[in-house]
Amino acid sequence: MTVGATAATDTTSTDFADFDFAGGTRLPAKATLSLGDATFRPGVNIAYVPVTLDRPTPNTVIARIITQNGSGATRMVSGSNYQTVDTVVIFRPGDPLRQTVEVPIVSAAEGQFFQMKLREAPWGGLQGQAVSTILATSLTDATPRATGTFRAPRTFQPSGTLQFELLKDTHKRSPDGGWNRWATSLSHGRTQIANQETGLYLDSSVFPGIEGPVYWGTKGLVLHSQKLKTPITYEGAQWNYGATVLDGRNFLDTQIGYGQYEWDAWMPNRRGSWPALWLISTAGWPPEIDIYEGFGYQSYWDFDRHVGQTIHVGANSTRYEGRGIVIQTEQAYGLSGYSQDFHRFAVDIQRDYITWFVDGKETYQSVNPFNGFRWYPIMDVAVRTDGAYDDGSGDMIIRSFKIYSAP
């Protein structure tokens, strides 16, 4: 990413301090991201292309941007007239509303042009102008480089007191959980039909003879999903797949209001698996905070490069809005390989902002609409497929899980 200035501060904006979040049911409007037309003088070696937001953003906005050749007799061609740029622009809360992308110019005559375009709609924001024209001309002033202070990504650092650590010697679970143990079901049961899930959340004490679904392996705690060798009839329906979950709704040591959750996890890569690390309010769903979500039932999903991070607002079992991003983290942050080895997924919940991290690096931030709520964690591998479900691995492995509470 090439922008007009580098960060000099680790603070966040207070633009939304007076916004009425209506008890965790409302969010400020999304910002709209646009590519701007630009001009540069023939003979220079850099063109500056503006990327703007129309308002302060309540959450991180990420845009993938690429150059493309012009058209007609005055077109500029990659390699001959300019160098191809395929980059990512990131706006964090509190950043200036204008950045510029630098495009190296090789050779350009008066009146020649090329274009820049968004590769897809911006993550975390609305789409404004998606294609811009960059013109070589001596008849107008050149588009200037952006100035301003852009905040660098934060580095994950626990600031609270260690309240809970997942350890084999003290790990306990039961069908409905308890004050000192995980539940192997969700608060509403063992199915998620509304999500079009095809997996039944299993427990070997409830369904004897099944594989797994939760066990300690050589690398850590395994959450095992599977296609069942023998279908299970449950609540009048036949289930051909087994999902797995550990739910902390009754596990008091896993519940905090403010602080940090940090998992060290190895993700599955089986098509149709839906792994997630998430939080739900102890008062009921919604709200919800998704620290990691892997949409393996989507054909585009790349388990090694994509990460989903979201918040959901609403009340009384009704979701009003989800606000988040699906990040191609290799291009945006240089992070990848989530189904190849262990990676750290964390969230820091403070009164003003919620901040997400992967391998210690900030990947997303949102204004916190949930002041006063308490949270409990869920880790699961759901299943959403009607296929063979036998490619790759359907297991999530948890090597470490820590919770830090803050005042």
Residue after which a domain boundary falls, among 124, 152, 180 = 152
State whether 240 and 273 are in the same domain. Answer: yes
State whether 9 and 147 are in the same domain. Answer: yes
State whether 117 and 197 are in the same domain. Answer: no
Tokens of 233: 């009839």
Q: Residue 277 — pLDDT band, cuts 50, 70, 90?
A: very high
User: CATH number for the domain including 111?
Assistant: 2.60.40.2030
pLDDT in tens, 241-276: 999 999 999 999 999 999 999 999 999 999 999 999
Residue 53 and residue 127: Cα distance in Å, rounded?
10
Residue 148 and residue 296: Cα distance in Å, rounded?
39
For residue 179, the 8-state DSSP code is T
| 392 neighbors 269 (Cβ within 8 angstroms) | yes
State whether 134 and 24 are in the same domain. Answer: yes
State whether 90 and 200 are in the same domain. Answer: no
Number of domains in the chain: 2
Residue 276 and residue 279: Cα distance in Å, rounded?
10
pLDDT in tens, 16-71: 999 999 999 999 999 999 999 999 999 999 999 999 999 999 999 999 999 999 99
State whether 112 and 173 are in the same domain. Answer: no
Tokens of 263: 């998992």
**Averaged pLDDT score across all residues of the chain:** 95
| For the chain, percent of residues with pLDDT exceeding 70 | 97
Which of 5-9, 122-126, 141-145, 320-324 is the least confident region?
Answer: 5-9
Q: Residue 15 — pLDDT band, cuts 50, 70, 90?
A: confident
Q: Residue 11 — pLDDT band, cuts 50, 70, 90?
A: very low
pLDDT in tens, 355-392: 999 999 999 999 999 999 999 999 999 999 999 999 99
pLDDT in tens, 184-203: 999 999 999 999 999 999 99
State whether 148 and 268 are in the same domain. Answer: no
Tokens of 314: 């609403």
Given a cut of 90, is residue 157 above it in pLDDT? yes
Q: Tell me the C-alpha to C-alpha distance, in Å, between residue 372 and each of 25, 352, 402.
A: 13, 12, 22
User: CATH number for the domain including 321?
Assistant: 2.60.120.200
State whether 134 and 188 are in the same domain. Answer: no
Residue 43 and residue 109: Cα distance in Å, rounded?
8
Tokens of 23: 């008890």
What does residue 300 show for φ and ψ, rounded to 5 degrees?
-80, -15
State whether 248 and 388 are in the same domain. Answer: yes
State whether 187 and 321 are in the same domain. Answer: yes
Residue after which a domain boundary falls, among 130, 152, 174 = 152
Given a cut of 60, is residue 172 above it in pLDDT? yes
Residue 345 and residue 363: Cα distance in Å, rounded?
10
Given a cut of 60, is residue 5 above it in pLDDT? no
State whether 118 and 174 are in the same domain. Answer: no
Which residues are 258's β-sheet partners?
406
Tokens of 387: 């296929």
Residue 325 and residue 155: Cα distance in Å, rounded?
19
Q: By 3-state DSSP, what share of the chain in percent is helix, strand and coil, each rounded to 5? A: 5, 45, 50
Residues 6+ apart with CB under 8 A from 333: 153, 327, 358, 361, 363
Do strands 306-315 and 288-293 pair parallel, antiparallel, or not at all (unpaired)?
A: antiparallel
Residue 118 and residue 121: Cα distance in Å, rounded?
7
State whether 352 and 251 are in the same domain. Answer: yes
| 239 neighbors 199 (Cβ within 8 angstroms) | yes
Residue after which a domain boundary falls, among 90, 124, 152 = 152
Do strands 38-40 and 226-234 pair parallel, antiparallel, or not at all (unpaired)?
A: unpaired
| 286 neighbors 314 (Cβ within 8 angstroms) | yes
Residue range 98-126: average pLDDT? 97
* Domain span at 36: 1-152
